[in-house]
Amino acid sequence: MKTQNFKNHARYYVLHHYIIFPLSLSYFILTLSKLDFSESLSENLLSIILAVLLILFPFLARIYALKNQNRIIRLEMRQRYFELSGKSFSEIESKLKLGQIIALRFAPDEELLDLIKQAQAEELSSKEIKSRIKNWKGDFHRV
């Protein structure tokens, strides 16, 4: 498996990003351009509703997957923090933004506790957290 780092960790899902969404968007645009106002309002309305639904379905599927992934990441971070420090992550978790927690998951165990302290003390953005990671812990199972 290819080594993952700050520069190449973004993930694109070919079916979603390059096929389903572009086709949905194309259908939506085509539907809008082909509206015929000489026809009945109900036919136009039906076409618009179908086009909007086809645009929303890929977003909805993606949102569900990402929300589930975020829950799993929070659980993983709670477990990792407890294993490394012997303490609950609850207090720290309430002081961090979700984006910071997500960024911290790329840190290996040796760097995690220090990065958590830095993230809190300096209010680091997720991008800043990721850029400070020295030995990137790849996540090859992301959605």
pLDDT in tens, 27-50: 999 998 988 877 778 888 888 999
Count of C-beta atoms within a 10 Å radius of residue 84: 14
Least confident interval from 9-18, 30-39, 70-79, 84-93: 9-18
pTM above threshold 0.75: no
CA-nearest of 42, 19, 49, 44 to 34 is 44
pLDDT of residue 16: 80
What's the mean pLDDT in 77-106? 96
Average model confidence (pLDDT) for the chain?
Answer: 89
DSSP structural state of residue 3: P
DSSP structural state of residue 16: I
